[in-house]
Amino acid sequence: MSSSSSNSSGPLLGLSSAVTEGESFNMQPPSEPSRRNWIIACGAVGAGAAAAVAVPLLGSMAPSEKARSAGAPVEVDIADIPAGGVRIVEWRGKPVWIVRRTPEMLQGLEALNSQLADPNSDRADYPVPAYAKNVHRSIKPELLVTVGICTHLGCSPVSKFETGEPSGIAVDWPGGFFCPCHGSTFDIAGRVFANKPAPDNLEVPRHMYLSDSRIVIGQDEQGEA
């Protein structure tokens, strides 16, 4: 793996299967009237002599303008998301992260409950579908589907999947997401740590599996969101 850092960015719209390396999930605010699409900026992970671990990001083609305007459900192919990788798609003008978590990423979730503001996702401002009211906040433990917008002021967090000191967060960091705007931190299930500016966990949109390799976002067995 190269020790040099590189950055690449580009509009998600028009990408059919772009793969980049990096950890930043930055976006134009969805409320910005002058633009409907958002930008994924990818930065290298790690610095100095420490070994860098890249987070694969896969950009999927966004739905049509008509579909996006209507807030229509979005079908996503998840077959090629690698372990520890992320696919990002647009739904209702918002970035939705689909993270394929490894067993190692999941193993410490229950132990974090005492450090979290809402470990069981009970708060009503961002209601969680019943099938995601569990410690991993997902239908299948390995696959997290969440909206990549901080619940504080709408910034977009960055991935910090590396644990411990190499993450640059804390020596006991378990891995998760970090919002650089005001310092909110979320675990790998999108649950916010206590005493942070963000008042709630990351949103889990309605979704369901169409097959082992495809999901739909914005719709479940109860209907559309």
Kindly list the catalytic residues.
Answer: 182
Nearest to 68 by CA among 48, 50, 89, 51: 89
Rounded CA gap, 76 and 54, in Å?
23
Order the strands of the 158-160 sheet from edge to edge.
158-160, 176-178, 185-187
Collapsing DSSP states into helix, strand and coil, what is residue 188?
Answer: coil
Q: Are 173 and 163 in contact (CB under 8 A)?
A: yes
Rounded CA gap, 39 and 126, in Å?
25
